Structure 1
Amino acid sequence: MDAERWWPPFVEVAALVWIVLFVVDVAVAFDLLVVSESLAATIRSVLRWLLVVFLLDVALLYRWSDQSPGRFVRSNWFLILTVVPWFRPFRLLRIGRSIRALRLLTGSRRVGSFLNKIRRKCHSLWHRLRE
């Protein structure tokens, strides 16, 4: 298998998994979701391992780029920033396929309703935190 061909889709899936697990971890931290302590520890462990995948992603992209380190950093600063997991969702926004998929999902009645519930819950949490 050609790693340069299968690696980017793998990292996109890892990013989606990270986002889901991060949301679950935050929900557990705010007592919005109750899970066993062992499951919570497993989620945190997987989040740490995914960070290693993201660091490896940048290293591999540098290796495949044939650029000097300085030039690679200057031309890929956004990519490097998205190694920090909290900025990872921004990389997905940069990908046209992901945006189109999100548009399709929000057009679905069931998914659109779910996303609206999440938006309302985040809005109420934000107001509670500000008080």
Structure 2
Amino acid sequence: MDAERWWPPFVEVMALVWIVLFVVDVAVSVDLLAVSESLTGTVRSVLQWLLIVFLLDIAVLYRWSDQGPRRFVRSNWFLILTAVPWFRPFRLLRIGRSIRALRLLSGSRRVGSFLNKVRRKCHSLWHRLRR
């Protein structure tokens, strides 16, 4: 089916759009960014519509699967969780594959050293943000 080819990339692009708009919305709400009220309303409206796209994504994927509802939920719980936009970035990272690849690569001295530097930098940034 042709829709099975274009739908997943479309949803991923919409996820990126959601992330950008969410950051803009947060920046406006904490007064880091000054925009007009109409633009703020538009951003929030688009965020709500994108939530519908993410829920539709789950429905479409369920329709394409040959599983019953219970089995679909059990085998796709992470996918369903990432339909909630705040968890959407996890799907973009493809966590499971990334972790396995990093474990394999960390066996190399150069890559392992680089990954340790990145980990330490992220850790220090995290502590700075929490203050």
> TM-score band, normalised by the shorter chain?
0.7 to 0.9
User: Equivalences for 1:110-121 in 2 at 5 Å?
Assistant: none
Flag as ranges the 4+ runs of structure 1 deviating above 3 A: none
Which segments of 5 or more consecutive residues in structure 1 lack a partner in the other structure? Answer: 98-119
Identical residues among aligned pairs (%): 79
Structure number, greater radius of gyration = 2
TM-score normalized by the length of structure 2: 0.73
- Residue 28 of structure 1 corresponds to 28
Quote the offset at 1:57 in angstroms.
0.2
- Residue 62 of structure 1 corresponds to 62
- Residue 46 of structure 1 corresponds to 46
Which segments of 5 or more consecutive residues in structure 2 lack a partner in the other structure? Answer: 99-124
For residues 29 and 66 of structure 2, the distance between their equivalents in structure 1, rounded to whole angstroms, comes to 43
Letter in 1 for 2:66: D
TM-score normalized by the length of structure 1: 0.73
**SS at 1:32's partner residue?**
coil
For residues 10 and 69 of structure 1, the distance between their equivalents in structure 2, rounded to whole angstroms, comes to 24
Between Structure 1 and Structure 2, how many residues are aligned? 105
Quote the offset at 1:37 in angstroms.
0.2
Quote the offset at 1:18 in angstroms.
0.2
User: Equivalences for 1:1-131 in 2 at 5 Å?
Assistant: 2-94=2-94, 123=128, 126-127=130-131
Letter in 1 for 2:60: L
For residues 34 and 45 of structure 2, the distance between their equivalents in structure 1, rounded to whole angstroms, comes to 18
- CA RMSD between the two structures: 2.3
For residues 58 and 19 of structure 1, the distance between their equivalents in structure 2, rounded to whole angstroms, comes to 19
Letter in 1 for 2:69: P
Kindly provide the CA deviation profile for residues 33-56 of structure 1, in whole angstroms up to 9, marking residues without a partner as x.
Answer: 000000000000000000000000
Quote the offset at 1:83 in angstroms.
0.8
- Residue 112 of structure 1 corresponds to none
For residues 25 and 64 of structure 2, the distance between their equivalents in structure 1, rounded to whole angstroms, comes to 34
